[in-house]
Amino acid sequence: MPLLINRIFHLAPIAIAAALCWLLPGSAAAGQPNIVVILTDDQGYADVSYNPHHPREVSTPNIDRLARSSVICTAGYTSGHVCAPTRAGLMTGRYQQRFGIYTAGEGGSGVPLSETFFPLHLKEAGYTSGAFGKWHLGVDIKYNAMHRGFDEFYGFMGRGAHDYFDLVTADHPIYRGLEPIRDKGYLTDRITEEAVSFIKRHKKKPFFAYIAYNAVHAPAQAPAADIRKETDDPARNVLMAMLRSLDAGVGKIVDTLKAEGLFDNTLLFFLTDNGGSKAMHANNAPVRGYKEEDYEGGIRVPFIVSWPAKLKGGTTCDVPLMSIDILPTALAAAGAEMIGKLPLDGRNILPALAGKADRIHEQLYWSSAGGKGAWAIRSGKWKLVGLKDKLELFDLEEDKGESNDLSGKNPAQVGKLKTLHDAWLDKMAEPANGAAKRWNAKAPSPGQKNKRKSREEKKKLREERKAKRQAGEKPGE
């Protein structure tokens, strides 16, 4: 039966949506669902209190309430271990490496305009789309969310971090649409307020709300009244205050959907963009590692899916899923045709969420290209992690914490997974930053190249100034 279901759900999106009427519980006459994606930033795997491994200072009652009425995806992954690559993959439904995005710097500089973003697929199906919060997919105005299919945008376009209180910084402005604005307030609260306003204003027709909080990303800033001495770690105490504001925001969004009679027929995804940050003192228990690593702590994240009209709440899904699956799943639910000819790597995960499929992907892949030399592949229970010339193999069914490297005992499995990853990487684009796809001990990293270039340019400038002084010219002439 799972094999049959998987085949059915690889049909065209409209056929898939029709199939949902008999495959999933709920009314077939409910109409197109609203689509809401809540993406948090650098939130730890155990920095949600529905995770039984959470430390005692963590309390997220609103996220927990959502989780209790949703499907909790226990093997939900992001396509990147840092912010911008994950966002690029989520917005396109494709591995971001297909268009050269391997690092945060590349993604933050801009996703190629040839890529089709999430809201463009939904527009023909009658959806109004709004983006709120952190964009991190291009700093130039041509990469603004309004130029990628969104009808409304409130947020910041710059790099990964933004001050939470200073919302009028000239070189890092808050935008409304295409125009920078002067705003005030605590940024987490302002993102919530803008998202709630959008939902209320567009409640009569189907909408897509992409709510991308920058909380709990650095800088560590929270209203002073919210910071409590909950631990002996001052940084952790600030993080908890930031988390409370984030949790309150999620609660207000869910409560608004319920008050407007929209919640049952809203397909809502809640996840974070990568593993919790070590620099911000996040907690990723019980998995290993942090943001910027391909161990589970860098890529396995809190991942919740709610759609009461079609999915049974209070359940779990153990099937490995990825953030690139959100777009094709939304299209299937909306009965929307994909536009353009670029193939999606993501899959419709509704069968897995309904307990009708035990596998969505044969393999899941990660790569940060040769500059860092970090990559990974998961196939079934097996996961191979590569870092430069080091390879580690883990059985995730027996060892979710990746504490027991089995590469020495299973060389055939290592070879098989490495061959699969190599074949996948061969199909990906060259890194946009000029790095090699694969790590090479003899090749300098892009950072080393840039430092060398900078030193050479400074040396040349000093020599030119010296020559001018010797010729009797002023340095500025």
**Spatial strand order in the sheet of 390-395:** 364-367, 374-379, 382-387, 390-395
Residue 16 pLDDT > 70, yes or no? no
Higher pLDDT, 469 or 191: 191
The CATH number of whichever domain residue 407 belongs to comes to: 3.30.1120.10
CATH code, domain carrying 89:
3.40.720.10
- Among 306, 324, 353, the domain-final residue is 353
What is the Cα–Cα distance from 136 to 107, expressed in whole angstroms?
7
- First CA to last CA across the chain, in angstroms? 79
What proportion of the chain, given as a percentage, has pLDDT over 90?
84
Instruction: Tell me how far apart the alpha carbons of residues 130 and 86 are, in angstroms, rounded to a whole number.
Output: 19
* Residue 13 in this model has a pLDDT that exceeds 80: no
Q: Is the pLDDT of residue 321 over 50?
A: yes
Distances in Å between the Cα of 228 and the Cα atoms of 220, 238, 411 are 14, 8, 51
The three-state secondary structure class of 240 is: helix
Q: How are beta strands 174-176 and 179-181 bridged, if at all?
A: antiparallel
In a shared domain, residues 97 and 168: yes
Domain shared by 254 and 343, yes or no: yes
Q: Note whether 383 and 267 are same-domain residues.
A: no
The pLDDT of residue 159 is 81
Q: For residue 444, what pLDDT is reported? A: 62
> Taking residues 336-357, what's their average pLDDT?
96
Answer yes or no: is pLDDT of 453 > 80.
no
For residue 458, name the pLDDT band (cuts at 50, 70, 90). Answer: very low
| Residue 58 falls inside a structural domain | yes
In a domain, 452, yes or no: no
* Structural domains in the chain (count): 2
Rounded CA-CA distance 134/41 in Å is 9
Domain boundary among 353, 374, 395: 353
- Give 450 or 391, the one with higher predicted confidence: 391
| 238 shares its domain with 372 | no
Asked, for residue 420, whether it belongs to a domain, the answer is yes
* 295/425 Cα distance (integer angstroms): 19
The one catalytic residue in 136, 162, 281, 361 is 136
427-448 confidence digits (pLDDT tens): 999 999 999 999 998 876 555 5
Q: 293 and 391, same structural domain?
A: no
Q: Which domain holds residue 93?
A: 2-353
**Domain end position, chosen among 321, 353, 385:** 353
Q: Which residues contact 214 (CB under 8 A, 6 or more apart)?
A: 41, 133, 134, 156, 160, 161, 162, 164, 187, 188, 191
DSSP output for 68-137: HTSEEETTEE-S-SSHHHHHHHHHHTS-GGGGT--SHHHHHH---TTSPPHHHHHHTTT-EEEEEEE--S
Quick check: is 317 catalytic?
A: no
Region class of 369: left (phi > 0), else alpha (psi between -120 and 50), else beta: left
Q: Assess whether 151 and 105 both reside in one domain.
A: yes
In this structure, the answer to whether residues 138 and 259 fall within a common structural domain is yes
- What pLDDT is attached to residue 463? 63
Q: Residues 207-233: pLDDT tens digits? A: 999 999 999 999 999 999 999 999 999
| Residue 462 in domain | no
Q: Roughly what angle, to the nearest 10 degrees, separates helices 326-334 and 13-23? A: 70
- Shared domain for 107 and 201, answered yes or no, is yes
pLDDT for 85 beyond 90:
yes
As a whole number, mean pLDDT of residues 91-101 equals: 98
Average pLDDT, the chain: 90
Instruction: Please spell the DSSP secondary structure of 287-355, one letter per residue.
Output: S---TTSSSHHHHB--EEEE-TTTS-SSEEE-S-EEGGGHHHHHHHHHTPPPPSSPPP-----HHHHTT
- Looking at the predicted structure, is the pLDDT value of residue 450 above 80? no
Say if 469 falls within a structural domain: no
Q: Is 177 helix (H, G, I), strand (E, B) or coil?
A: coil
The residue annotated as part of the active site, out of 54, 73, 81, 83, is 83
Does residue 197 fall inside a structural domain? Answer: yes
Asked if 250 and 390 sit in the same domain, the reply is no
Residue 228 phi/psi, 5-degree rounding, is -120, 155
pLDDT for residue 470: 54
Per the CB < 8 A criterion, the answer to whether 141 and 88 are in contact is no
Same domain, 338 and 373: no
Give 2-54 as a 3 state SS string: HHHHHHHCCCCHHHHHHHHHHHCCCCCCCCCCEEEEEEECCCCCCCCCCCCCC
Exposure on the CB side of residue 206, measured as CA atoms within 13 A: 22
Phi and psi at 154, nearest 5°, equal: -130, 120
Arithmetic mean of pLDDT, 448-470: 51
267 plus 396 within the same structural domain? no
Interval 116-168: pLDDT, tens: 999 999 999 999 999 999 999 999 999 999 999 999 999 999 888 999 999 99
Q: Are 149 and 129 in contact (CB under 8 A)?
A: yes
Higher local confidence (pLDDT), 394 or 466? 394
- Are 298 and 278 in contact by the 8 Å Cβ rule? The answer is no
Q: Give mean pLDDT, residues 234-243.
A: 98
196 & 322 share domain:
yes
Evaluate whether residue 465 is within a structural domain: no
